[in-house]
Amino acid sequence: MHTLVLGGAKSGKSAFALEMGRRIISAQSISESRSRGLFVATAQALDAEMEERIRRHREERGKEWETVEEPVNVPELLRGRPAEYSVILIDCLTLWLSNIMHHYPHHIELHCTDLCHALQNTTVPVIMVSNEVGMGIVPESAQGRQFRDHAGRLHQQVAGVCARVVLTVAGIPMFMKGEDIA
């Protein structure tokens, strides 16, 4: 059962996704030998501020998470070794999309479709965090509008293969599709 967690900047979406992941790890560690999660970080440390942010987030996650930094090849990672883990958490899809737009500007839809195919064939629960960028003002630049439009289409595609879609506002998760895990 995959989950898409959407929200604005600093809305609490990552904290909610981590807590959901921890509950999955705890539930599976009681019944199975898998008791770790895989955290897929799509951010790249391109400056000192981002390096510090990544370091701080890694410390906050704790030892129950193995972290892999993968800015582009997320579908390949999902096809690779997910059975080792109780849950996979991808943070975040909008940074992944930005990386795809930068590296593969003529193949964006192909990469988004590939991600959804990989999700459909992944039996380990996957929680994906993404910024909902389509609820604000219309971006001033053509590139900004392109990004917003691609993000909206990506969210629709991913939501279609997820059992749960959660919108987080002011730290409050609202289930748009499906129900919370026990």
- Which positions are catalytic? 57
Distances (CA, A) of 163 to 76, 105, 120: 22, 30, 11
The CA distance from 171 to 154, in Å, is 23
CA pseudo-torsion sign 73, 77, 79, 80: positive
Cβ atoms 154, 4 nearer than 8 A = no
Contacts of 159 (CB under 8 A, 6+ apart): 4, 165, 177
Q: 106-126 burial by CB neighbour count: b if 16+ within 10 A, else e?
A: eebeebbebbbebbeebebbb
